[in-house]
Amino acid sequence: MTQQVSGLLFFKPFFQKTPVRVDSSLQQRRHTLPASEFRNLTPQDAISVFEIEREAFISVSGECPLTLDEVLNFLGQCPELSLGWFEEGQLVAFIIGSGWDKERLSQEAMTQHVPDSSTVHIHVLSVHRHCRQQGKGSIILWRYLQYVSCMPGLRRALLICEDFLVPFYLKAGFKEIGPSAITVSNMHFQEMEYTLSGQAYSRRNSDC
Ligand SMILES: CC(C)(COP(=O)(O)OP(=O)(O)OC[C@H]1O[C@@H](n2cnc3c(N)ncnc32)[C@H](O)[C@@H]1OP(=O)(O)O)[C@@H](O)C(=O)NCCC(=O)NCCS
């Protein structure tokens, strides 16, 4: 009788009563949280989201794209338009989106979710300060765009950002569509658009 344990071949005599030695790292791994996991956020994640947001924005500009109440609202109304990246159970990066039904984003888009619309408005992308400049922002954005491309009816993603982040979004495949009508305490923004590839309609050739 033989058993294969973590790549090693053990011979187990029929009279052997003690269990076969199991690689202890395998046993440990079974009891730990996944090293890396992407999933939709829920209202239970709102505090972790807001902690990252607060550090990223309030400490810099005194303003935050979403208040805690707005985070709770969007994660309650449209959790399917959010994505969190967790490492060993800790949130390291996230995106929160909501539905929008007009050509351009306006002030009311900042607090509204329009169900069954063809545009996803990305309110916020943020990476935990300990994890920035490691490619995580680009990776979660790419995964999010792939994911929403698979959602039936969604055709494009819109967001606003400050000038210094325009190159980051251009590199991700967004196009600049001009200055945004939205202002927040004297801050001005550029509006960016990403055309979703509509993979929901060609599933045979996609990962959807
Ligand atoms: C912006 C942010 C999401 C980028 O995520 P990240 O994981 O640090 O970025 P990546 O490592 O994937 O990519 C790095 C690129 O982003 C750009 N970038 C990141 N932060 C930047 C900043 N503050 N100013 C200018 N460019 C910046 C750089 O151009 C860099 O490009 P390079 O590799 O050619 O130098 C992250 O820095 C963050 O959370 N910032 C605070 C919150 C924020 O501003 N969010 C965006 C608006 S909602």
- Residue 159 Cα to ligand 1 midpoint, Å, equals 15
Rounded to the nearest whole angstrom, what is the distance from the C-alpha of residue 133 to the centroid of ligand 1? 6
CB neighbours (10 Å) of residue 19? 8
Side chain identity at residue 69, one-letter code: D
Q: Is 172 in the pocket of ligand 1 (CB under 6 A)?
A: no
Check if 184 has its Cβ closer than 6 Å to any atom of ligand 1. no
Question: Do residues 155 and 200 touch, judged by C-beta distance below 8 A?
Answer: no
Whether ligand 1 lies within 6 angstroms of the CB of 168 is answered as: yes
Ranges of the chain with pLDDT below 70 = 1-31, 198-208
Extract the tokens encoding 164: 């210094």
Strand order in the sheet with 119-127: 37-39, 82-87, 90-100, 119-127, 156-161, 187-195, 175-184
What is the residue extent of each domain of the chain?
1-32, 33-205
Cα 135 from Cα 31, distance rounded (Å): 28
- What confidence score (pLDDT) does residue 6 get? 37
Please give the pLDDT value at position 207. 60
Task: Output the pLDDT for position 155.
Answer: 97
Q: Within 13 Å, how many C-alpha atoms sit on residue 1's CB side?
A: 6
Give the per-residue SS3 of the chain. Answer: CEEEECCEEEECCCCCCCCCCCCHHHHHHHCCCCCCEEECCCHHHHHHHHHHHHHHHHHHHCCCCCCHHHHHHHHHHCHHHEEEEEECCEEEEEEEEEEECCCCCCHHHHCCCCCCCCEEEEEEEEECHHHCCCCHHHHHHHHHHHHHHCCCCCCEEEEEECHHHHHHHHHCCCEEEEEEEEEECCEEEEEEEEECCCHHHCHHHCCC
Whether CATH 3.40.630.30 fits 33-205: yes
Residue 84 in contact with ligand 1 by CB distance below 6 A: no
Cβ of residue 159 lying under 6 Å from some atom of ligand 1 = no
- State residue 128's pLDDT score: 97
